[in-house]
Amino acid sequence: MTNTIEINQLRYFLRAASLLHIKDTARNMGVSQPAVTRAIQLIETRIGISLFRRSSNGLILTPRGREFLKSAQVLTREYAECIQRCRAVQRAASGSVVVGLDVGVFLDRPVIFNLVRTFRQLHPNFDVHVEDVQWANAIESLSSYAVDLLITMNTCPTVFCDQFETGTLPWARTTTIVNSNHELARAKGVSIAQLDRVPLLILDESSQPGFEETLLESFNKAGAQMFVVQRATSEMSLLAYTRAGMGVAVLNTSIESPPCSEVTVVEITDLSPSSAPMIQLLSRRGERYPALDELLNHLESAVNPNKAPRPTENLAL
């Protein structure tokens, strides 16, 4: 009999250590209870220690079981990263890029998808796949090789700055999003003066840092009164308020077409975009390759045609 421990056996153990119940672990993993019990027993036999104590309420990790848990977590994480790393190398060799699009990039999604579609047309030999990611898991997706490029509105945490290369897409325009029944919906553009005392909807400070202050300065210069009736925590909430007719949404966004039929996008003609960066591009440092470089160049040149293209790098095999 072999003395090796299979990765699936470790996964059963990790889930059992989390749920502390054989029945719940089996249901969660989609296997039978005997399969979970057998996996744990095989591990205990091969390492010569007891991982759990059985009780009427379920499982209790032994002191040695808790120590083994730490090692098992490292092993399974490194195994998953190894698999993802190999897949990333294969993607680089075949000209493929997996883009992780932070679901927080809400109103700008049509613009990003249009840019990706154009890239595919210009580079038919490259394959670009876009996947939604939650910001809570986004950095892990990039560092574990699940995605090659992360597009987000969030700033890369300082602790990861040495691991990732960052870029920004400063393409934001200041626009209003109005209910299609609003009188401004028929305008080709709107000035600050036209927004005097109009009920406004904006994102809160944490969602769009510095923007409200910039907006207030512009209203003061125009001799207009800024009347904010609601501060939203997300663009999705802002859109919902607009659809409900609560007011006119004002925000920095590259959106060019309305996200739904109930609203209309109208640009503010006399207000410059906020200096706060809008879209962040994150990739793993030192692991770029032609397809990824071409995609980055395509995204950046779309908003800055005079920007020098990035030099192409090869992913170390």
**Residue 183 and residue 212 in one domain:** yes
Q: What tens digit of pLDDT does each residue of 42-59 get?
A: 999 999 999 999 988 899
**Residue 193 and residue 218 in one domain:** yes
CATH number at 29 reads: 1.10.10.10
In a domain, 130, yes or no: yes
- Per DSSP, 58 falls in state E
Contact 47, 13 (CB under 8 A): no
Share of the chain above pLDDT 70, in %: 87
**Residue 166 and residue 178 in one domain:** no
In a domain, 105, yes or no: yes
| Mean pLDDT along residues 1-10 | 80
* Alpha helices per DSSP H over 123-273: 135-143, 211-221, 235-243
Query: What is the Rg, in whole angstroms, of the alpha carbon atoms belonging to the chain?
Result: 26
Average model confidence (pLDDT) across the chain: 84
pTM of the predicted model over 0.85: no
Measured distance CA(101)–CA(224) in Å, rounded: 38
Band of the pLDDT at 254, cuts 50, 70, 90?
A: low
Quote the domain boundaries for residue 32. 7-82
Domain termination site, one of 58, 82, 106 = 82
**Residue 166 and residue 286 in one domain:** yes
In a domain, 230, yes or no: yes
The pLDDT score that the predictor gives to residue 172 is 58
Which neighbouring-strand residues pair with 167? 281
**Residue 37 and residue 50 in one domain:** yes
**Residue 239 and residue 292 in one domain:** no
**Residue 219 and residue 293 in one domain:** no
Q: Residue 4 pLDDT more than 90?
A: no
Report for 40-49, 234-243, 256-265: range of highest mean pLDDT: 40-49
Lowest mean pLDDT, pick from 14-28, 97-111, 198-212: 97-111
**Residue 250 and residue 165 in one domain:** no
**Residue 228 and residue 262 in one domain:** yes
Contact 267, 280 (CB under 8 A): no
In a domain, 248, yes or no: yes
In a domain, 90, yes or no: no
Counting the structural domains of the chain, the total is 3
Amino acid making up residue 2: T
The pLDDT score that the predictor gives to residue 181 is 87
Measured distance CA(34)–CA(32) in Å, rounded: 5
**Residue 179 and residue 264 in one domain:** yes
Q: Residue 153 pLDDT more than 80?
A: no
**Residue 187 and residue 227 in one domain:** yes
CATH number at 149 reads: 3.40.190.10
Share of the chain above pLDDT 90, in %: 37
**Residue 152 and residue 236 in one domain:** no
The pLDDT score that the predictor gives to residue 315 is 44
Distances (CA, A) of 14 to 6, 50, 62, 177, 293: 13, 14, 14, 48, 39
In a domain, 273, yes or no: no
Q: What tens digit of pLDDT does each residue of 211-225 get?
A: 888 889 889 999 999
Both structure tokens of 208: 């769009």
Contact 187, 177 (CB under 8 A): no
In a domain, 25, yes or no: yes
